[in-house]
Chains A and B, each alone.
Chain A
Amino acid sequence: MQIASDGLTDVGRVRSNNEDSFRILESLHLFVISDGMGGEAHGEIASSMAVETIVDYCSEAKDDSGITLAGAPGDHWAEKTKRLQSAVYLANSKIYQSAQKNPEQRGMGATLTAAWFDNGRLSIAHVGDSRAYLLRGGTVQQLTNDHSLVAEQVRRGIITPQEAEASEMQSVLLRALGAHSQVEVDVDEVAIFSRDVLLLCSDGLTRMVTEPEIAGSLQAETDPASATRKLIELANERGGIDNVTVIVAHFQEEPRGWLSWLRRGSANKE
């Protein structure tokens, strides 16, 4: 599978600092996004701590299968999924301990959404209200469930999605990294097909731009860099009330077989 990806972050139109962090590790096919919270610069500290921990742990785990797993991930998950989940547990402890040691960091925390592609499958780990979407055959599907109060209320049928969008409580999270000594991490695995498009984004995008608009932009833009620019532009046009971060990855089957060999051959001649 050939993967082309790009990421972009923007402070938005209202805030003065950017508390989002993201990393793309092309060699590992690892994509990580985090949205920090907490006063002063502490949101930035938390989100970059989250992203760095995931990247470091997964890089190390790539070559060392003996590395210990933190927590107790389910047995039926693939190796990479377990590694990713462990990495998130570790990031939680790091942020939590840092906040315990430094009183001025009290209350800092971060969301985390990470995707790791390996052997035809995408492993996903997730805490908070940043999101992963998959665009496939013109349909955009949210891969993660928000751990926010309003999302939980919608799932329980207490409020409608429309009420959730208008709610003043949208910023209230039920889970985040660094809030407690332990955290529950959602994991999932998704089989990836040729022409799938993965989007990871912070809530600065999804609060401003609707799902059909996201699907439209992902379909219209043929390379990841222009898709990230387009999505951030849209969020800012709508008011840009929060930091916006997006990662877009295109998956494309490498051409193989006699048909593509013929095609390649004729292309070379031209």
Chain B
Amino acid sequence: MAKLSLMFESKLVKEVPIGNRPVSIGRSPDNDIPIDNLAISNYHARVYYEGSRLVVEDLDSLNGTFVNDLRVERATLHDGDSIWIGKHHIKVDATADAAIPWDTGRKAAAPKINETMVLDTKARRDMLSQAAAMGERSQFSPGRLKMPTLVVLSGKVNQKEYVLTNKLTVIGKSPMATVRLRGWFKPPMAAQINQRDDGYYLGTGDNVPTINGTPITGPTRLNDGDLIEVCGVRLNFIFRE
């Protein structure tokens, strides 16, 4: 009977003989070879005898199972092969077995590591529940559901306040602007407020706006309560419940 040796870099972590039962490999602790690493699926792969052949089978893992350097769905193992799973590799010692002929071509899995692939719905669900378990900071938590709002303190514009619902908000005279400036000689696009993953950023347009009295030098993140001044209009940026 053959045996498997789990290695991390060049260190031997664990040795497992292969009997009549399949040997399971994965992140879940109930595997025969548990590997505690996020890159490894809960039930990642298994190794078992099929007649006299030793076979490795990938269990639809996210990051794949590699024999030597080929990604496989299923492959016959030979003495001296290495199964690669994440940064771990498992050496196959089958010296006790009769040599297995190399006639069966290994069946390569479709996506190679560098090629784009799409998660199926199950893998996606797993990923999202895993994310939930890890604790979200995130925009999805109720604490972040406050509406960013511009309250007009002074100056000629078309509304008293504006709730920022779009990714891009423009302050200017243009009819396309969200905050429409009134009066002569106002620029079509005086300044802009853009939503990014980590908050709202004030940027320049035809004018350089100030935040709390200081002119900005580039896109600047807005904090709750900031005072924005541009073209004679004063706006208070707040997050409203």
Which chain A residues have a beta carbon within 8 Å of chain B's beta carbons? 35, 37-39, 106-107, 109, 120-121, 129, 134, 136-139, 141-143, 149, 152-158, 168-169, 171-176, 179-180, 188, 190-194, 241
User: What residues of chain A lie closer than 8 Å to B140, measured between beta carbons?
Assistant: 156
Q: How far is the CB of A152 from chain B (nearest CB, A)?
A: 8
* A141 and B137 contacting across the interface, CB-CB below 8 Å: no
* B118 and A109 contacting across the interface, CB-CB below 8 Å: yes
Interface assignment of B139: CB less than 8 Å from any CB of chain A: yes
How many angstroms between the C-alpha atoms of A55 and B66 in the bound complex? Answer: 41
Task: Tell me how many residue pairs across A and B have CB atoms closer than 8 Å.
Answer: 113
- Contacts A156-B140, A171-B114 known; A139 to B203 CB distance under 8 Å? yes
* B192 and A154 contacting across the interface, CB-CB below 8 Å: no
User: What residues of chain B lie closer than 8 Å to A35, measured between beta carbons?
Assistant: 116
Q: B119, B167, B205: which contacts A143 (Cβ < 8 A)?
A: B167
Give the 4 A-B CB pairs with smallest separation, nearest first: A157-B137, A191-B176, A139-B203, A37-B116
Interface assignment of B164: CB less than 8 Å from any CB of chain A: no
The residues in B between 192 and 225 inclusive whose CB is less than 8 angstroms from any CB of A are: 192, 194, 196-197, 201, 203-206, 218-219
> What are 16 pairs between A and B in contact, CB < 8 Å?
A37-B115, A38-B110, A120-B175, A137-B192, A137-B204, A137-B206, A139-B203, A139-B204, A168-B63, A172-B118, A173-B117, A173-B118, A174-B119, A193-B188, A193-B189, A194-B188
* B137 and A173 contacting across the interface, CB-CB below 8 Å: no
User: What residues of chain B lie closer than 8 Å to A109, measured between beta carbons?
Assistant: 116, 118
Q: A138, A194, A241: which contacts B204 (Cβ < 8 A)?
A: A138
Q: B39, B121, B124, B189: which contacts A137 (Cβ < 8 A)?
A: B189
Interface assignment of B61: CB less than 8 Å from any CB of chain A: no
Interface assignment of B4: CB less than 8 Å from any CB of chain A: no
How many angstroms between the C-alpha atoms of A189 and B172 in the bound complex? Answer: 18
Q: How far is the CB of B21 from chain A (nearest CB, A)?
A: 32
* B110 and A107 contacting across the interface, CB-CB below 8 Å: yes
Q: List 16 other contacts, CB 8 Å, given A37-B115, A171-B113.
A: A37-B117, A37-B118, A136-B192, A137-B203, A139-B218, A142-B196, A149-B119, A155-B139, A171-B115, A172-B117, A174-B118, A174-B124, A190-B167, A191-B176, A191-B177, A193-B188
